[in-house]
């Protein structure tokens, strides 16, 4: 059996998705040019706080909440015309999630290098 490792999946995803830093994400968010999407688990948000102005979509529901054909589609939750900027705790899950959104057909997708760990050290406000 030839199974790809999770680290290989992340490496492959990083070759295909746009990675931005916290300054780029902060600028886009401040200018209302993106949907800032936190894909961390709800327990992580409760424990560590959340980024002011971000949308929480748990990683396990991302594809379903963004698929208009899904029973779980969240109508009007996000502006489909804006860039989807994803982040998780450290940047691994968000790389995989960004690749999945690209695979779904979303054109403007990126993820934040270093995830929430980097965001905590940036201009973003944690609430």
- The predicted model scores a pTM of 0.95
CATH architecture of 16-120: 3-Layer(aba) Sandwich (3.40)
The per-residue pLDDT for 80 is 87
Spans in the chain with pLDDT lower than 70: none
CA-to-CA distance for 27 and 20, rounded, in angstroms?
11
The per-residue pLDDT for 76 is 86
The per-residue pLDDT for 1 is 82
Task: Determine contact, residues 109/18, Cβ cutoff 8 Å.
Answer: yes
């Amino acid at each position: 059996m030839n199974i790809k490792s999770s680290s290989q999946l992340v490496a492959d995803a990083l070759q295909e998705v746009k990675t931005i830093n916290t300054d780029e994400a902060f600028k886009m968010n401040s200018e209302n040019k993106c949907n800032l999407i936190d894909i961390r688990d709800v327990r992580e948000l409760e424990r560590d706080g959340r980024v002011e102005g971000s949308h929480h979509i748990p990683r396990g529901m991302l594809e379903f909440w963004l698929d208009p054909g899904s029973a779980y589609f969240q109508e009007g939750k996000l502006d489909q015309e804006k860039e989807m900027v994803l982040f998780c705790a450290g940047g691994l899950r968000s790389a995989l999630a960004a690749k999945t959104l690209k695979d779904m057909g979303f054109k403007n997708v990126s993820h934040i290098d270093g995830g929430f760990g980097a965001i905590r050290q940036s201009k973003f406000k944690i609430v």
